[in-house]
Chain A
Amino acid sequence: MSQQEIEVILSRHLAEHLALPIFIVDPEGNMLFYNEPAEALLGIRYQDTGSMPASEWSTIFQPTEQDGTPIHPEELPLMLAMMKRHPAHRRFWIRGLDGVQRQIELTAFPLIGQGERFVGAIAIFWEITQ
């Protein structure tokens, strides 16, 4: 397996040291990593899933509006950050693989390295508890 880009390696390093839930994808949208705080909201450990294609992670957590309307994968902030290469933000609901439905707020932005290299995207999210 080829080595990840240095900016992605350092993003993962940062994610491992932050208490905020973080999710990292590569330029094709494949999920590369999520940290322990994200595991708590997604209801599954990274060690149990490993990396995941975009088609899988964008649907497996069943993202919906408050009224239960499904959100199309291409409308998710992380997919928007990846495809349009600008930051995106949204509040929505997911169902973790532990079966618990949670409202989350998520901000995603593209990872653009030296030389304008697009190396992926990163999402920081948190649970809305009130």
Chain B
Amino acid sequence: MKATLWGTRGSLASPGPDTVRYGGNTSCVSVLGPEGTLLVLDAGTGMRCLGLNLPAELQRVDILLTQLHMDHIQGLPFFAPLRRPGVEVHLYGPASTMLSLRARLMRYLSPPLFPVSIRELPGALHFHELPSGSVAIGEFTVKAQLIIHPNPTVGYRLETDRLALTYIPDHEPSLGAFSFPRNKEWTSGFNLAEGADLLIHDAQYTAEEYRNRVGFGHSSLEQALGFAQLTGVRQLIPFHHDPSHGDGMIDIMLEEAIDELHPAFKITPGMEGLEVLVGG
């Protein structure tokens, strides 16, 4: 199983000289299974580059949306396979009480916010709503579960015979947790991440910033490390960097957090373009 990070930024695309190494595109990760199944996690602005790098003979792609906030869907209409006739695209995302996944996406993918509507895309688009539970996609078992973040939001756990990758890019597990990060029963996302070989997790804020943004739905880097420790993962990729954090600042945040917490698991900074062999 190979994961590639095409977008690592949270909230807002932030290209520029200060974000060259960690990246300025918003959330998008591709995961290639051992038998060739391609899953795409979120459709942030990083999705455009992913689409340009996929083979022209691609027949099917499955896109797993964690939520419908703009930084997770803005790349969708720029994803090249969607404009190719004959490509089968399956789109998964959290259900909501009042509107279907398609209807909610149409709010963005229609004028005046976007000139092209979903129905004008030539590819075959199939919608699947996932409040929770699991679905088989190729060699993957995909488990979705609601997690703490404003508006219906899920995290995903992708399992093959041997490996598990957990993806929770927007998550505030300390909210609602009983003495975070110590109580497994009352911590959002625990079941998704428990014992995963790789966890890609929200690490948007510094500890100081988090104190002023409780309830915004994100984690500090220290909380991401605490969550990884609690869930017993083997490797953590801190992800969804704050738009105001330049490369130098993220370097310092990581260095300080690792020095302070001495984590027992491997930490690989979430950089755009990073390729990770899960379990490798």
Interface residues of A (CB under 8 A from B): 1-7, 9-10, 12-13, 113-115, 117
Contact = CB atoms under 8 A, between A and B. Distances in A.
Interface string B83-117: 00000000000111100000000000000000000
Is the contact region of chain B dominated by helix, strand, or loop, or is it mixed? loop
Contacts of A9: 148, 176-177, 186-188
Nearest to A116: B131
A127 to B, nearest CB: 26
Interface residues of B, number: 24
Interface string B176-219: 11100000111111110000000000000000000000000000
A22 to B, nearest CB: 14
11 contacts: A3-B186, A3-B188, A6-B145, A6-B188, A9-B177, A13-B175, A13-B176, A114-B94, A114-B152, A115-B132, A117-B131
B228 interface: no
A115 B147 contact: no
Given A1-B185, A114-B95, A10 B148 contact: yes
A2 B185 CA distance: 6
Given A9-B148, A13-B176, A113-B146, A3 B187 contact: yes
Given A6-B146, A6-B147, A13-B175, A117 B132 contact: yes
Nearest to B175: A13
A5 B188 CA distance: 8
Interface string B127-162: 001011000000000000111100010000000000
A3 B191 contact: yes
A88 B179 CA distance: 32
B185 A12 contact: no
Nearest to B148: A6
A33 to B, nearest CB: 9
